Amino acid sequence: MKIVALVGESGTGKSHKAMNLASSKGIRYIIDDGLLIHDAKRIAGKSAKRETTRLSAVRRAIFQFDDHCKEVKEAIERVKPDQLLIIGTSNKMVQNIARNLQIGEIDEYVYIDAISTKEEIKLARETRLKHGKHVIPLPTVEIKRDFSGYFLDSVKTIIRRREHEQETEIGEKTIVRPTFSYMGRFTISNRVIIQIVEHTCHLHEAIATVQRVRLHKHEEQIKLDLELSMHYGTFIAKSAEEIQISVKEALEHMTRLHVISVNIHVKSLNFLN
């Protein structure tokens, strides 16, 4: 197995460039921040960006947690890639990753300033330092269930395949803001979340009153139980489904939190016009 390392300081745009570099070299497996990725799908591992402290994120990224390391090692042995791209902030980091995963020595080093312009690196640094944004080279659906932080956006890029220069592919990356950041820890108060829920509910003509909003929050994932009073004559099942969808969409759009469930409890009917 040939191992290629993409090396660059934190915040210089490595993950953003990784998909194009891998495509140009015919590499289909990538290790980035604790994840083993194959063709934009997570094969094994956990993202270091889901960690709540910088120290645990570094340990996750270099596979110092035994169960995590074992999972990725077994996956590599199972899929047997002929080439592998490892992304890291220094030669020492990628060497530590290779050693911990017991996959051999690094065969080739590619440095970020060789594949990015000074302007691109400068922009990447500013984006990281000013806005705390990170890029994960996976579609949002691949990381949404267990990511600890806020989803900011998804980016689609056109990748030109090396073996067929006219053949292109659409790749998707996710821009996130982890719970750890150069800008400190980001939190959204429960009261703000409840106010968004109440406002969204009151936009529906079927609802008479929002009696209670119960919020269950774990890291940056939330479950909601809504106790509502609806107007008499309302098609309850259909209205409840519409409310579920609109509450989830409003919260995820305004807060970038991951809403796991919205449970509707119709406690009473309002007979007054």
Tens of pLDDT along the chain (273 residues)? 999 999 998 778 787 788 788 888 999 999 988 999 887 788 999 888 777 777 888 999 999 999 999 999 999 999 999 999 999 999 999 999 999 999 999 999 999 999 888 888 887 676 655 555 555 555 454 455 555 444 444 544 444 444 444 444 444 455 555 555 444 445 577 888 899 999 999 999 999 999 999 998 765 578 999 999 999 988 999 999 999 999 998 887 777 677 889 999 999 999 875
Predicted pLDDT at 256:
65
Of the three residues 154, 178, 202, the one that is the final residue of a domain is 178
For residue 261, give the H/E element and its range.
Answer: strand 258-270
Does residue 12 lie within any of the structural domains? yes
Range of the structural domain that residue 217 is part of: 190-270
**145 and 194 both lie in a single domain:** no
> Is 126 part of any domain?
yes
Identify the pLDDT of residue 164: 46
Q: CA 117, 120, 123, 127 torsion: positive or negative?
A: negative
My answer on whether 147 and 194 are in the same domain is no
Contacts of 90 by beta carbon, 8 Å cutoff, 6+ apart: 7, 9
Residue 115 and residue 246 in one domain: no
Same domain, 20 and 139: yes
Please report whether residue 183 resides in a domain: no
The pair of three-digit structure tokens given for residue 205, joined into one six-digit string: 């003509």
Q: Domain for residue 47, yes or no? A: yes
Whether residue 61 is found in the same domain as residue 139: yes
Q: Is residue 136 part of a domain?
A: yes
Strands (E), 78-200: 83-88, 108-111, 134-136, 149-160, 168-178
- 184 in a domain, yes or no? no
pLDDT of residue 177: 54
Return the beta strands (E) in 112-257 as ranges.
Answer: 134-136, 149-160, 168-178, 207-218, 221-231
Q: Are residues 28 and 110 both part of a single domain? A: yes
| 34 Cβ contact list (under 8 Å, min separation 6) | 45, 46, 47, 48, 60, 61, 63, 68, 72
pLDDT reported for residue 184 = 46
* Radius of gyration of the CA atoms of the chain, in A: 22
14 and 123 share one domain? yes
Residue 208 sits in the same domain as residue 95: no
Residue 31 to residue 29: CA distance in whole angstroms: 7
Q: Is 91 inside any structural domain? A: yes
The counts of H helices and E strands in the chain are 9, 12
Q: Among 178, 212, 237, which residue terminates a domain?
A: 178
Same domain, 35 and 86: yes
Q: Please report the sign of the dihedral spanned by the C-alpha atoms of residue 99, residue 27, residue 45, residue 257.
A: positive
Identify which of 208, 200, 214, 210 has the alpha carbon closest to the alpha carbon of residue 244: 200
Query: Does some domain include residue 232?
Result: yes
Q: Quote the number of domains for the chain.
A: 2
The residue out of 178, 208, 236 marking a domain boundary is 178
Whether residues 160 and 33 share a domain: the answer is yes
CATH number at residue 200: 3.30.70.1350
Does residue 107 sit in the same domain as residue 161?
yes
* Same domain, yes or no: 252 and 168: no
